[in-house]
Amino acid sequence: MNGRKKKAGVPFAQAGEPVDAGGHLLKDERPGAVAIPGAADIPASRKTRTLAGDAWLRLRKNKLAIAGLVWLVFIAVMTISADLWVPEFFADPTSTEFEGLEPPSAAHPFGTDRIGRDVFSRVVYGARPSLSVGVLAVSISLVLGLIFGALSGYYGGLLDSFIMRTADVFFAFPYMLFTIALLAVLGPGLQNVFIAIGILGWPSIARVFRSSILSVKETEYVDAARAMGASDLRIMSRHILPNAIAPIIVYGTMSIGGAIITEAALSYLGMGVQAPTPSWGSMLSEAKALMTAAPWLTIWPGFAILTTVLSFVLMGDGMRDALDVKMKD
Task: State the minimum distance, in angstroms, from the CB of residue 47 to another protein.
Answer: 7
When asked if residue 23 is in the footprint of another protein (CB under 8 A), the reply is yes
When asked if residue 14 is in the footprint of another protein (CB under 8 A), the reply is yes
Question: Using CB under 8 A, which of 12, 85, 171, 303 touches another protein?
Answer: 12
Bridge partners, residue 19, by sequence = 25
Bridge partners, residue 25, by sequence = 19
Only one of the segments 110-118, 142-150, 222-230, 290-298 lies at the binding site for another protein (rule: CB under 8 A); that segment is 222-230
When asked if residue 234 is in the footprint of another protein (CB under 8 A), the reply is yes
When asked if residue 53 is in the footprint of another protein (CB under 8 A), the reply is no
Give whichever of 238 and 288 is closer to another protein, judged by the CB atom.
238
Q: Is 189 strand, coil or helix? A: coil
Give whichever of 19 and 186 is closer to another protein, judged by the CB atom.
19
Would you call the peptide bond into 276 cis, given omega within 30 degrees of 0 as the criterion? yes
100 CB-near residues (< 8 Å, 6+ apart):
112, 113, 114, 115, 116
DSSP 8-state symbol, 49: -
Give whichever of 40 and 169 is closer to another protein, judged by the CB atom.
40
When asked if residue 51 is in the footprint of another protein (CB under 8 A), the reply is yes
Could you report how far apart the first and last alpha carbons of the chain are, in Å? 14
Question: Using CB under 8 A, which of 60, 61, 114, 226 touches another protein?
Answer: 226
Q: DSSP states of 235-254 as a string?
A: IIIIIIHHHH-HHHHHHHHH
When asked if residue 39 is in the footprint of another protein (CB under 8 A), the reply is yes
Q: Is 151 strand, coil or helix? A: helix
Task: State the minimum distance, in angstroms, from the CB of residue 304 to another protein.
Answer: 36
Question: Using CB under 8 A, which of 95, 161, 215, 231 touches another protein?
Answer: 231
Question: Using CB under 8 A, which of 155, 173, 221, 303 touches another protein?
Answer: 221
Interhelix angle 246-268/138-155, rounded to 10 degrees, is 140
Are the beta carbons of 262 and 199 closer than 8 angstroms? Answer: no
Give whichever of 119 and 241 is closer to another protein, judged by the CB atom.
241
Q: Which of 311, 305, 306 is nearest to 280 (CA)?
A: 305
Question: Using CB under 8 A, which of 143, 176, 224, 275 touches another protein?
Answer: 224
Contacting residues toward another protein, per CB under 8 A: 12-16, 19, 21-24, 39, 42, 46-47, 49, 51, 219-221, 223-231, 234, 238-239, 242-243, 325-326, 328
